[in-house]
Each structure stands twice: as C-alpha cells, then as structure tokens.
Chain A
Amino acid sequence: DAGVTQSPTHLIKTRGQHVTLRCSPISGHKSVSWYQQVLGQGPQFIFQYYEKEERGRGNFPDRFSARQFPNYSSELNVNALLLGDSALYLCASSWGLAGGNEQYFGPGTRLTVT
C-alpha cells in the first residue's frame, strides 16, 4: 500500500535555472496539492489540482506552475529560480476537495538554490 511518492529527494540548482518536481498520489486519490515549507516555518499552499484542473492557487508568482496528468500524478515547475526558492516542496494527496478530506503528505523534495 504505497503512500504519496515524490521525486527527486534532493536537488541543487543555481539561480536562474528551471526545476521540475514530481508527485504520485495515493492510489484512488484524485486531488494533489503542493506546498512550500521554508526552514522553520509551516507549509505554505501553492497549488491544488483535482481531475486535472487547477482548483486553487496560493500567493506565489507566475514563475510557479503545475499540472496534473490523467493518472492523477502531478508536476510542479519553477522557472528563473531565486535563492528564496530554497525550501522543502511537499505534495499532498486526498480523495476529494471538500473540507474534511484528509491530506496525506509525501516525503518532499529538498530544493537548494545556490
């Protein structure tokens, strides 16, 4: 019974580069959400997808984009990386969108921008 998986585990990029992070939800879950967790802070909501459509977006610049595929996996893309983008990027999956649908987190991708 696999949980949420993310790849890669760690990533080091330089300023100005582009990065793609990947997430596979728990089998049967149709919603994927992305969060950014800066060291010492709580996760901050970036995007939510359900049935391949964007259903919510947090307060992040247009350099951040995402998509969801027919198999419900998802990618988060970040362009023109800044030092401040260094963080743990967490993916969470849930069955649906209604309040009360538990979100289960993946192990995260640790992104370091130098």
Chain B
Amino acid sequence: GENVEQHPSTLSVQEGDSAVIKCTYSDSASNYFPWYKQELGKRPQLIIDIRSNVGEKKDQRIAVTLNKTAKHFSLHITETQPEDSAVYFCAASIRGNNRLAFGKGNQVVVIP
C-alpha cells in the first residue's frame, strides 16, 4: 500500500523566517497531495493541496511543490507567524482514489 514519509518530525523557526516540510510517497498511482494543519485538540484542516498535473501551487504565504519523478512534495510557509504553530500532516491519495495515506506529522513551533 501507499507509504508516506514526512521529515523533519519537529521544526522550530523564528517568527518571520520560512519553514519547509518535506514528504515522500511510494505509490506511483497517487495523484492528489493535500496538506493538513492540526492544532492541539482540534480537527485536521485542509490548508493547501496539489494535483499531479501541476508542479507548484501557492496561496498567500503557503506554497506546495511536487516532483512526481522523485515522488516527493514539500510545504513552504513564508513569513511565519506564531499562529502557524501546529502539527502539519502531508498525505497522498491511495491508488488514484481520494482516500488518503498520511505522514506521521511535523510539529512546527514558531518562536516570537
């Protein structure tokens, strides 16, 4: 089945700096790659996603890049703010469907 690896597990950044989280996946049939933000005790919230027919997508301070050949995708957060502190999960669709395989999560801490 699909296997999604996420690195690093914890990331601390100074407010205003950039944060980058990288993920790899194993199933070449995966065609949808969402990113979720989960604050403590709350539900995962979709923050950005990318489909396999594009290589990059940007939404304000958040961007995602996809390299299908290498089977990896990354989340970039620029000008980080304290409210960006949360756990971020990458995910990949399973066998072309929209059900998802998740990475283990990345704790991002933005230091004021």
Q: Which residues of A contact B (CB under 8 A)?
A: 31, 33, 35, 40-45, 48, 55-56, 59, 90, 94, 96-108
Check B105–A42 contact: CB distance below 8 A.
yes
* Cα A93 to Cα B32 with chains together (Å): 16
Please name 8 pairs of A and B residues whose Cβ atoms are closer than 8 Å in the assembled complex, sorted by A: A35-B100, A42-B4, A42-B102, A55-B97, A97-B98, A99-B98, A105-B36, A108-B43
- A90 to chain B: which residues have CB within 8 Å? 43-44
Contact of A56 among B31, B42, B44, B99 (CB under 8 A): B99
Given A42-B105, A43-B89, the answer on whether A105 and B99 have CB atoms closer than 8 Å is: no
B101 within 8 A of A: yes
Check A104–B96 contact: CB distance below 8 A.
no
Given A94-B98, A96-B98, the answer on whether A103 and B34 have CB atoms closer than 8 Å is: yes
Using a Cβ–Cβ cut-off of 8 Å, how many residues does chain B contribute to the interface with A? 30
* Interchain Cβ contacts within 8 Å, total number: 76
Closest residue on chain A to residue B98 by CB atoms: A101
* Cα A105 to Cα B46 with chains together (Å): 8
Check B46–A104 contact: CB distance below 8 A.
yes
Q: Distance (Å) between the CB of B34 and the closest chain A CB?
A: 7
Contact of B32 among A31, A33, A99 (CB under 8 A): A99
Closest residue on chain A to residue B91 by CB atoms: A42
Check A100–B51 contact: CB distance below 8 A.
yes
Check B42–A107 contact: CB distance below 8 A.
yes
Check B103–A48 contact: CB distance below 8 A.
no
Given A43-B44, A105-B43, A105-B45, the answer on whether A100 and B98 have CB atoms closer than 8 Å is: yes
Check A105–B94 contact: CB distance below 8 A.
no
Check B34–A106 contact: CB distance below 8 A.
no
